[in-house]
Amino acid sequence: MTLGTSAILLATLLAGITLVAFGLLRNRARDAEAVAEMGHSDGADAPDMSQELAGAFAARLEAIMAEQTARQSEALSDALAGLKSDIQDLKSDVEWLAGERMIEQAITLAQTGLEADEIGRELGLTRETAETIRMFRRH
């Protein structure tokens, strides 16, 4: 790059920075004029604007917190529903295993020659269930 090209680029960069700085200063001056036109020229009522901004910020923060709480509540509800389903599945499995074990014990008792009433009392089965197991598993 030649020296002339470098000088042109540097001048363009400085001009851009200057324009941005003047734009920011002009914008700040406009804001000050707007405040003065609203009757806040002495700055005594400036805290009112700060309170309004703080109120708006607090309202927005409350809305965000409420939304986050709702999301967490929904996630917790979904997790609890999944947990309930898992517990129901485990309950079914345990009931099945207990039933299988009870049938095995009833078969063993029937093979030893116990009567249906005794098998029912021993295992908590109805007389009909114990009689059915006894009839099929006597030998």
CB-based burial of residue 101 (10 Å sphere; 0-12 exposed, 13-18 middle, 19+ buried)? exposed
CB 123 within 8 A of CB 110: no
Coil, strand or helix at 139: coil
Report the number of secondary-structure helices (H) and strands (E) in the chain. 4, 0
pTM: 0.41
CA distance 63 to 52: 17
Across 60-69, 100-109, 112-121, 129-138, least confident range: 129-138
Task: Decide if pLDDT at 46 tops 80.
Answer: no
CA distance to 29, 46, 49, 130, per residue, from 35 (Å): 10, 8, 10, 93
Q: How far is CA 66 from the centre of its chain?
A: 13
CA distance 137 to 3: 108
Query: Token digits for 126?
Result: 């109805």
CB 119 within 8 A of CB 130: yes
Task: Decide if pLDDT at 28 tops 70.
Answer: yes
CB-based burial of residue 84 (10 Å sphere; 0-12 exposed, 13-18 middle, 19+ buried)? exposed
Residue 133: its pLDDT value, please?
Answer: 80
Q: Residue 38: pLDDT band by 50, 70, 90 thresholds?
A: low
Tell me the pLDDT tens digit for each residue of 83-112.
999 999 999 888 888 888 888 888 888 888
What residue ranges do the domains of the chain occupy?
A: 1-42
